[in-house]
Amino acid sequence: MNDIRIDKQRLWDSLMEMGEIGGTEKGGCCRLALTDLDKQGRDLFVKWCEEAGCSITVDKMGNIFARRPGQDDSLPPVAVGSHLDTQPTGGKFDGVFGVLAGLEIFRTLNERGIETRTPLETVMWTNEEGSRFPPAMVSSGVFAGAFDLDYGLSRADLDGKTMGEELERIGYAGSAEVGGRPFKAFFEAHIEQGPILEDEGKQIGVVTDAQGQRWYEITLTGQESHAGPTPMPSRRDALLGAARIVDMVNRIGMDNQPNACATVGLMQVFPNSRNVIPGQVFFTVDFRHPDAEVLEAMDAALREGAVRIAEDIGLEMDFEQIWYSPPVPFDEDCVASVRKAAEALGLSHREMVSGAGHDACYIARVAPTSMIFVPCEKGISHNELERADADDLAAGCNVLLQAVLERAQA
């Protein structure tokens, strides 16, 4: 079946139509998890899958499973998938490509009249981004047993709305249990979200591992006071403490090169008035590294330094690590299937480690798993300027198709 190819234009058109839901003026997409726009995207995905002859199952975390029957429907399916939710200023390809690539595979097999030995499934995982409901990948985490169901449903946004409440509101609080659903294999196709493939002129990333991640939430409390009469030496400025920790976070990342990443991406300053010394600051820290020991050393440096900074200024500190995802080695046989497919299709490729977290990282705990990367322009992602080439997306989808067929027919 090496001569089978997906329909490049149909895949592109599907991505563009989905991108209109939550589309932004700069050409990106804002479709936050469990909003009305997310519901519209889910509805469109379900409609397309049903038109392709799939049955639909929704579990209690709102994960959607679109199933194409096989010759022996009692066998575990070969599954593919990713997510439809985006960042507030996200693009049209992050996550969405992996979901619609699965749909395009189904459409292609239908046109060819091909029946696979095992069933196939395309999965849409809820709230992968973690932008509205931290932590990231929480629903695939519940599926894989990293979190319990109550924890997942109780995750709240900044307005106090929980995932459970919002799933009910948009009509995607399914009845199926979360997890206990075997996969013969799972593949996730994704844009790289970095510049390596483009810089090296490679079409396919054969993903062997994923970085570990630690997420923190820190609240510093000092005392708000008038910006004029309050002498500098007597101030307990919470924003000053936060600024020093932000600088330290960056230094920790630089000290652990070449693979470390360290980011402060969210900050809330109270009372946020121009002539009031900030009395409280809430902010987040994101650490990443493919080596668990290095990541642990970064954690220790952050904890020690944050305590010292808070004490020097006289601040109270609430410090919590809210999420830890260890480094993930992907299944050697699934990685080999991706590599073999790229070679059979004559596509340039390289092995690489994922710098970002993906639902595949949790699914790897319960099923043989790997990922396929395609280039994105200048490595830009989580940004409205995110771009991917239609030829590269088609190449990645064709690799996905061949890897799926190999595992589904075995």
Q: Which of 299, 354, 288, 352 is nearest to 326 (CA)?
A: 288
Cα 77 to Cα 80: distance, rounded to the nearest angstrom: 10
The counts of H helices and E strands in the chain are: 12, 16
Cα 221 to Cα 209: distance, rounded to the nearest angstrom: 39
Residues 6+ apart with CB under 8 A from 276: 224, 225, 226, 227
Decide: 219 and 282 in contact? Cβ < 8 Å: yes
Task: Give φ, ψ of 276 to 5 degrees.
Answer: -125, 130
Cα 208 to Cα 349: distance, rounded to the nearest angstrom: 13
Residue list for the binding site: 83, 94, 129, 190, 382
Q: What tokens were used for 103?
A: 């749909």
> For residue 271, is the peptide bond before it cis, meaning its omega torsion is within 30 degrees of 0?
yes
For residue 330, the SS3 value is coil
Read off the DSSP letter of residue 59. B
Q: Which of 214, 216, 219, 217 is nearest to 318 (CA)?
A: 219
Residue list for the binding site for Zn(2+): 83, 94, 129, 190, 382
> Strand (E) positions, 155-279?
185-191, 204-210, 212-221, 225-226, 261-263, 267-270, 276-277
Query: For the purposes of burial, counting CB atoms within 10 Å of the CB of 169, is it exposed (0-12), middle (13-18) or buried (19 or more)?
Result: middle
**Alpha helical stretches, state H, 221-372:** 238-255, 292-313, 332-344, 359-363
Cα 156 to Cα 338: distance, rounded to the nearest angstrom: 37
